[in-house]
Amino acid sequence: MKDEKLIERIARRAALELKDGYCINLGVGLPVEVLKYIPKDVEIFLQSENGILGMGPPAEKGKEKPELIDAARNYVTIKPYGSFFDSAFSFGMIRGGHLDATILGALEVDEEGNLANWNLPGRIGPGFGGGMDLAVGTKYVIVTTFHLTKNGKSKIKKKCTLPLTAKKAVNRIITDMAVMDVSYDPKEKGLILREVAPGYTIEDVVKATEAKLIIKNVEKWKTS
């Protein structure tokens, strides 16, 4: 299956996590794709850490306004109730626990809920951005990522090997193969396998996952 189809699969499933009235923030890349698949009866309030609440869809080509950009410098639109504020106020919203959910991408995520999503060794990157604040300050943290790297290695680790963005912050992981929850129960450490994507079996997911999987009451993959 081509990457575009896998991205759509992940984004469609992640969109079902968002409830009516949620105030959310989406990370760059794959998480932004979730906007395309939010159910029509669900109204969310989209926040951007550069100081916007109430972002609409991306701006159409030719209709961009240079003053309307998100934290990743993409041109956006603003809904009628949208508001603007400075970065200090914006990060106060995030750090104060006022966001219901955030959806972030990942280079690696592990069975302890640790997240690495900002840097690869030897690569000069832009830094953390707002990812660290979002991961530790948001009520519910969802990671969306491919299950395997292009080299076929698991991105769902026993222990992250890349520089961390946040420790023990992730709640749910949605990949092209499965939905998993991080167990913070000291008696049951690992990732709880919740759903297996079409075309895969539980055995396929276990084989592709380096982290410990807790398998019980696995449900059918939810679709929008």
- Tens-level pLDDT at each residue, the chain (224 residues): 668 999 999 999 999 999 999 999 999 889 999 999 999 999 999 999 999 999 988 899 999 999 999 888 889 999 999 999 999 999 999 999 999 999 999 999 999 999 999 877 666 665 666 889 999 999 999 999 999 999 999 999 999 999 999 999 999 999 999 999 999 999 999 999 999 999 999 999 999 999 999 998 999 999 87
CA distances from 222 to 21, 81, 219 (A): 21, 31, 8
* CB burial of residue 216 (10 Å; 0-12, 13-18, 19+): exposed
Check the CA dihedral 61-64-69-73 and report its sign.
Answer: positive
CATH number at residue 99: 3.40.1080.10
Residue type, 109: V
pTM of the model: 0.94
Based on the residue annotation, tell me whether 188 is a catalytic residue of this protein.
no
Residue found by looking up tokens 């966001």 in the block:
99
Cβ contacts of 62 within 8 Å, gap of 6 or more: none
Domain total of the chain: 1
The secondary structure of residue 84, as a DSSP letter, is E
Which residue in 49, 108, 111, 112 is the catalytic one?
49
Q: H/E element holding 215?
A: strand 213-220
What is the extent of the structural domain holding 208?
3-220
